[in-house]
A = this chain, B = another copy of it.
Amino acid sequence: MEETVREYVAETGDPTEAEHRRERSTAARSMRAIFEPRAVVVVGASRQPNTIGAALLHNLKRCGFRGPIYPINPKAVEIEGLPAYSSVGAVGAPVDLAYILVPAGQVEAAVRECADVGARAVIVITAGFGEVSEEGRKAERALRDLVLSHGMRMVGPNCMGVINAHPDVSMNGTFVPVWPRAGRIGMLSQSGALGYALLDKMQSMDLGVSTFISVGNKADVSGNDLLAYWAEDPHTDVIMLYLESFGNPRKFGRVTPEVARRKPIVAVKSGRSTAGSRAASSHSAALASPDLAVEALFEQAGVIRTDTPEQLLDVVMLLSSQPIPAGPRVGVITNAGGPGILLADACEVHGLALPEFSSETIDNLRTFLPFQAGMANPIDMIASATPEQYGRAVEVVGSDPKIDSLIIIYLPPHLHPPEEVTQALGRAAATVPAHKPVLTVFMSAKGLAPVVAEGTRGRLPCYGFPENAALALSAAERYGRWRRRPRGNILALDPSARTAIRAVVDRALDKESGGSVWLEPTDLAAILKSAGVDFAPAEETDISQAAAVAERMGYPLVLKALSEQILHKSDVGGVVLGIRSREQLLAAVETMSGRLAAAGIDLRRVLLQREIGGGIEALVGVTTDRTFGPLVVCGLGGVLVELLRDAAFRIPPVSDIDAGAMVDKLRARRLLDGYRGRPPGDREALILMIQRISALIELIPEMKELDLNPVKVLEPGSGAVVVDARLRLSSGSLSGSDQQNIRQGKHLTV
């Protein structure tokens, strides 16, 4: 069996990937009309205080937008000291971008006006569309069709606006009283209110943004467009997302890893819970994505996911000023034992390590620290620590090659003014090798002067509790590991195998003419064989012929009941193992018939299968997520593992590296190393099987469910063999173009 292997992202030659790149670069360019307009109109600008129309215009003006601002209001001559116009057409000068704040019923006409004067983008602040009713959803779709037909882009509707804080643009296009300082964070919020709360908090943390966008209902512009823009934007180093839903999760899955290789993406995705997703649906009419798929997507794509907005800010604070750590080893300096212990605990919980220091480092520290100081890691300089001692300890510990990052804890003591400590820290932090992040923890309710390191390191991230620093650093470290990981290879089935498999699938679908169908065991065996997946030899037979078939196949055999009334054979006593003779077979058939008859099942046909001795039980399969489509799943250890939900999920295509990560994620992975005297398992064969199943998904988009369970993972070098399998097809939800592609033998983009 021949196979071709292609790079996850082919550098040249793959037309699909080239198409994607072109698409991304178009998206990025189109965002410039939104973030870097030369002139803007505000349709619905108002003189009425405490209105959105007044607040947004006021923000644009007071924050010093660099281009002309044209307020549109048929009843006003002048607003905020700017001449007002009765209509967009009346402006008589070029306009790139329009803010639209008129009532919902007037939005479409306003957008038409903007299209007529050649505006390239609109930001529809107005609410009352898809988020409230079916009628609103219709109006929203009409708006989207309108802007698309004019080659324009639209943000919203139902959004809070956009910000570009860079001094060259200086545009505050929101209606809330916030104006972040210019910085290097690109920020998206699917909730306007939360976006405002985060900006407010970031201001108090002195975190600056490059650009901010409230995407509202995402009728047109969505996260994918923004990722494409920020990937190219020279003013953005870190991308920060608050998401409640995915418009096009497959595209998101394709775009994010490319972007995340260049710039960290940090995200909160809410709506995990039943109540949360209920709230999410009613909030923005978006389908909540079950969290499993989201988790898999973020993990594969290198997105740093945090559980809460507070953690989101903590991580962004670190990434926007410090380098990505090269490894998990942290050096800690403190002037109080308790917080040092808490930090050590939190580091270990989050996968960071506190190595002991070299004797050279300790000897060096001893020259200036008191004898009571603790010389393990954390270094406890005790409460008497002077600013000078802080500075020298940072220099000594920071330069120890055994650590990748440095965390400094400081509790204001009563003897030295805190400013002297922060100044000493700032000087010393500049001596720490540039590739090591430096973090501070100041446990004080009173604000301390921030530590500003000399040189390029800038202001050091500062946390109020040790755990926050540990969590942020561990997130950065995990991201660094992801980024260093090779991309891996995607396995593709060879053309003849593809043709053979599609023939089986098409025949099965033709027979059923739509709807859902469980594949016949022989068909499934044929597919697995073509895909290079080993299946334990098996034959179907009427029970009357079972003995004859068994004699031909040879023993030991497994007897399995065949009936459409049975889903899980072992649950109803439909499986008998270890049949070693004709007599045992006949007895087993009789017993099984009786047992099933008692359950109302008439046993007529059975499957005889060669028994695979030994091996570690695994599960490889496919399940379909309502939003994300197919997911590859893998588990180890038989029925108990199912009970304990020890399984890993990935969105296809699954590379060899991804498949290895899936196996490593299982708690039962130690079984493969040989557990308690048991033989080890062929890890490589399991990984290869996962890849082959991923390739099958690409080829059979009609596959809704696949269960290879159990798979027996034999000893290293001996492979992995499927013992039982089932596959459900359904062509129902397939799009027309997908179907056409399949018939033409084209790759599907998954």
Interface residues, chain A, with chain B CB atoms under 8 Å away: 50, 55, 127-128, 131-132, 175-177, 189-194, 196-197, 200-201, 203-204, 242, 244, 268, 270-280, 282-284, 307-310, 335-342, 344-349, 353-354, 371-372, 374-378, 380, 383, 411, 414-415, 443-446, 464-465, 467-468, 568, 570-573, 637-641, 643-646, 667-668, 670-671, 675-677
Contact = CB atoms under 8 A, between A and B. Distances in A.
Contacts of A132: 371-372
Given A194-B336, A640-B638, A467 B342 contact: no
Contacts of A275: 344-345, 347-348, 353-354, 376-378
A493 to B, nearest CB: 34
A242 B342 CA distance: 11
A314 to B, nearest CB: 11
A345 B271 contact: yes
Nearest to A675: B643
Contact of A278 (B309, B346, B376): B376
Most buried by B among A341, A414, A643: A341
A677 B377 CA distance: 53
Contacts of A341: 191, 244, 270-271, 276-277, 279-280, 283
A173 B465 CA distance: 26
Tallying the copies of this chain within the complex gives 2
Nearest to A444: B200
Given A345-B271, A445-B200, A670 B643 contact: yes
A279 B354 CA distance: 10
A204 B340 CA distance: 23
Contact of A340 (B128, B279, B372): B279
B338 A270 contact: yes
Given A348-B274, A637-B640, A284 B414 contact: no
A644 B275 CA distance: 30
Given A176-B414, A639-B676, A645-B667, 14 more contacts: A50-B414, A132-B371, A191-B336, A197-B336, A200-B443, A273-B347, A273-B349, A274-B348, A279-B340, A282-B376, A308-B467, A568-B677, A640-B641, A644-B668
Given A194-B339, A677-B571, A309 B175 contact: no
Nearest to A197: B443
A345 B446 contact: no
Nearest to A205: B445
A623 to B, nearest CB: 18
A270 B345 contact: yes
Contacts of A347: 273, 275
A258 B127 CA distance: 56
Nearest to A354: B275
A275 B415 CA distance: 29
16 contacts: A55-B414, A191-B339, A193-B337, A200-B444, A270-B338, A272-B345, A275-B377, A278-B376, A280-B341, A308-B342, A308-B346, A310-B465, A573-B677, A640-B640, A641-B644, A643-B668
B50 A415 contact: yes
Contact of A310 (B131, B273, B415, B467): B467
Contacts of A273: 344-345, 347-349
Nearest to A666: B644
A127 B271 CA distance: 52
A51 to B, nearest CB: 9
Contacts of A383: 192-193
A276 B646 CA distance: 29
B338 A194 contact: yes
Report, nearest first, the 10 A-B pairs whose CB atoms are least far apart.
A191-B338, A193-B336, A273-B348, A283-B337, A571-B677, A194-B338, A204-B445, A276-B344, A275-B354, A275-B344
A126 to B, nearest CB: 12
A242 B338 contact: yes
Contacts of A283: 337-338, 340-341, 374, 380
A159 B284 CA distance: 55
Central interface residue in A242, A346, A371, A570, by most chain B CB within 10 Å: A346
Contacts of A200: 443-446
Given A55-B414, A284-B337, A465-B310, A279 B197 contact: no
A48 to B, nearest CB: 12
Contact of A128 (B274, B337, B372, B640): B372
Nearest to A340: B279
A88 to B, nearest CB: 26
A570 B675 CA distance: 11
A284 B191 CA distance: 48
Contact of A378 (B268, B279, B338, B644): B279
A194 B342 CA distance: 10
Contact of A374 (B55, B282, B467): B282
A336 B284 CA distance: 12
B276 A335 contact: no
Contacts of A272: 345, 348-349
A518 B85 CA distance: 95
Contacts of A667: 643-645
A744 to B, nearest CB: 43
A279 B643 contact: no
Contacts of A201: 443, 445
